[in-house]
Amino acid sequence: MSDANKSVLTGIQEQQGATFMQDGDWYWTVNLGDPQAEYEAIRTGVSLWDVYALQKWEVTGPDAVAAISRVFTNNVATLAVGQVRYGAFVDDHGLMIDDGTVYKLADDHYWVMVNSDVFGEEITGASPDADITVTHRTHQMPVISVQGPGSRQMLQSLTDADLQTLGYFRFLPERVQVAGVKTWVLRTGFSGELGFELIPDPADAETLWSTLCGLGARPIGLDAVEIARIEAGLIIMAVDYQVGETSPFDVGLDKTVVTKTDTGVRGRDALLAAAAAPPNRFKTLTLAGSEVPEYGAEVFHGDDVVGAVTSPTSSPAHGVIGLAILRSDVADNGTSLEVAVGDGRVKATVTDLSIHDPAKLKPRS
């Protein structure tokens, strides 16, 4: 494993029995020996996920709002300090190049957290004359994701900050003490559960991790996260959407695309056209049987191919399921379809995008 892109938490996770995988130049924890127990920690307890490889960018300067708005589909101009918005990042054709979150620290100071380490080139290329400074902060901002129904209670025992009043998709714009460590506290996550994300200084990350483990939080990896995020209807770049090919409307991001206000986003005409008549919808399929289809498996309505399963899994709670991009005319809940599995097909039924929590009440709790 290259030290250049190794998490500051790699060492302690190795001691805890973690295995890792490489994605590009970055490394992610796969599991720590018991993916099933790790999944259960997300859903019933408190889980810890090292999100070091999430790409963190700092955008500052008088033109920060305009420059971010040029590539981001959600409304940056109306963000309050301490507020977060999720959305798609698009090209000149209104097609996705990334997805992620924008955090407002001040009128001229934002964080952008995305998948790609080329975001800096995208934002400066889209607004070459903007008075901004764009800085890659991934190595200075380790993220510890603390997710699960017990996460607030555990963290509240370690800080004087009032986490009960910290709303969903809000964050504390000043660092606070958590277990004696100066930390940014974010009310965000990638689990479909109540959760928080913590950003300590790199030198303090292992101390904070160890303290949380000592209180019963369970470290997890991608094996558990994959099941949880599919149950919650959450997307991954290059899996559920392809760069430069997929519209935000193809993967259920309708609410994150501002259409009533001209924010200056590039590709606006294409986005408006897609919003008026989306050709595809993003839904969950429940599949008969126990065999999990391949990623990208074709979906059929009769003899017609009407979509593809982008992310399949075997869910402990729901059986075999899969996120799928479906032609709009066959995407209503309850519609019977078939999915290619092995040399044949199995019956599938369309249901809510988030099968785990259709109204997404749990992360807001």
> Which CATH number does the domain housing residue 200 bear?
3.30.1360.120
Per-residue model confidence (pLDDT) at position 24: 87
Last residue of a domain, one of 230, 256, 287: 230
Tell me which residue of 124, 134, 143, 111 sits closest to 8, measured CA to CA.
Answer: 143
Q: What percent of the chain has pLDDT over 70?
A: 99
pTM of the model: 0.97
Tokens of 128: 């070459």
CA-CA distance, 172 to 321, in Å (whole number)? 36
Q: What tokens does 86 get?
A: 């999720």
Q: Give domain status of residue 115, yes or no.
A: no
Q: Are residues 219 and 285 in the same domain?
A: no
| Residue 175 and residue 310 in one domain | no
Q: Is residue 186 part of a domain?
A: yes
Do 155 and 297 lie in a common domain?
Answer: no
Specify whether the CB–CB gap between 225 and 145 falls below 8 A.
no
Q: What is the pLDDT of residue 270?
A: 98
d(CA 152, CA 330): 40
The answer to whether the Cα torsion of 10, 12, 14, 17 is positive or negative is negative
The residue written with tokens 């019933």 in the block is 44
- Give CA–CA dist 76/68, Å, rounded: 7
Point out which residues pair with 134 in neighbouring strands.
59
- Mean pLDDT of all residues in the chain? 97
Of 207, 230, 253, which one is at a domain's C-terminal end?
Answer: 230
Confirm whether 311 is domain-assigned. yes
Q: Is residue 120 part of a domain?
A: no
CB-side neighbour CA atoms (13 Å) of 95: 7
Last residue of some domain: 230, 260, 294?
Answer: 230
CB atoms within 10 A of CB 118: 13
The range of the structural domain enclosing residue 302 comes to: 279-365
Q: Per-residue pLDDT tens for 107-123?
A: 999 999 999 999 999 99
Q: How far, in Å, CA of 315 to CA of 354, rounded?
A: 13
User: What dihedral do alpha carbons 192, 238, 143, 15 form, nearest 10°?
Assistant: 100
Quick one: pLDDT band at residue 1, thresholds 50, 70, 90?
Answer: low
* 3-state secondary structure at position 18: coil
Q: Does residue 109 lie within any of the structural domains? A: no
* Backbone conformation region of residue 89, classed left if phi is above 0, alpha if psi is from -120 to 50, else beta: beta
Residue 146 shares a structural domain with residue 43: yes
Backbone angles phi, psi at 313, to 5 degrees: -160, 165
For 223-278, what is each residue's pLDDT tens digit? 999 999 999 999 999 999 999 999 999 999 999 999 999 999 999 999 999 999 99
Q: Is residue 205 situated within a structural domain?
A: yes
CATH number at residue 330: 2.40.30.110
235 assigned to some structural domain: no
Domain tally for the chain? 2
**Is residue 128 situated within a structural domain?**
no
pLDDT above 90 for 2: no
Share of the chain above pLDDT 90, in %: 98
Cα(268)–Cα(265) distance, rounded to whole angstroms? Answer: 6
The per-residue pLDDT for range 54-78, each reduced to its tens digit, is 999 999 999 999 999 999 999 999 9
